[in-house]
Amino acid sequence: MSTLTNLKWRYATKRMNGQKVPAEKLENILEAIQLAPTSIGMQPFTVLVVEDAGLRAKIAPAIYNQPQITEGSHVLVFAAWKEYTNENVDNYINHIATLRGIPAESLGGMRNMITGAIAGKTPEQLLLWNQKQAYIALGTGLVAAAEEQVDATPMEGFDPDALDAALGLNEKGLRSTVILVLGYRDAEKDYLSGAAKVRRVKDELFVRL
Ligand X SMILES: Cc1cc2nc3c(=O)[nH]c(=O)nc-3n(C[C@H](O)[C@H](O)[C@H](O)COP(=O)(O)O)c2cc1C
Return the residue nearest ligand X (CB atom).
Answer: 157
Nearer to ligand X, 18 or 108 (CB): 18
The residue (of 97 and 143) whose beta carbon lies closer to ligand X is 143
CB of 17 to ligand X, least distance (A): 16
Do residues 97 and 107 lie in contact, with contact meaning Cβ atoms separated by under 8 Å? yes
Reduced to 3 states, what is the DSSP secondary structure of residue 46? strand
Please tell me whether residue 168 adopts helix, strand or coil conformation.
Answer: coil
Shortest spacing between CB 14 and ligand X, in angstroms: 6
In whole angstroms, give the CA distance from residue 3 to residue 145: 11
- One-letter identity of residue 209: L
**Nearer to ligand X (CB atom), residue 107 or residue 134:** 134
Residues in CB range of 141: below 8 A, 6 or more apart:
29, 30, 32, 33, 36, 76, 152, 180
Looking at the DSSP bridge assignments, the partners of residue 151 are: 183
User: Which is closer to ligand X, CB of 126 or CB of 179?
Assistant: 179
Cβ–Cβ < 8 Å for 141, 33: yes
Phi, psi of 82 (to 5 degrees): -85, -20
- Chain positions contacting ligand X, by CB under 6 A: 11-12, 14, 66, 153-157, 178, 197
For the chain, strand residue ranges (E) read 45-50, 74-81, 151-155, 174-183
Decide whether 93 or 138 has the Cβ nearer to ligand X.
138
Alpha-carbon distance 98 to 95, whole Å? 5
What's the closest the beta carbon of residue 157 comes to ligand X, in angstroms?
3
Q: Which is nearer to ligand X, 71 or 107 (CB)?
A: 71
Q: Give the number of other Cβ atoms within 10 Å of residue 177's Cβ.
A: 24
Residue 197 Cβ vs ligand X, minimum distance, rounded to whole Å: 5
Helix axis angle, 108-119 relative to 86-100, nearest 10°?
A: 150
Nearest distance, CB of residue 179 and ligand X, angstroms: 7
Beta carbon of residue 198, minimum distance to ligand X (angstroms, whole number): 7
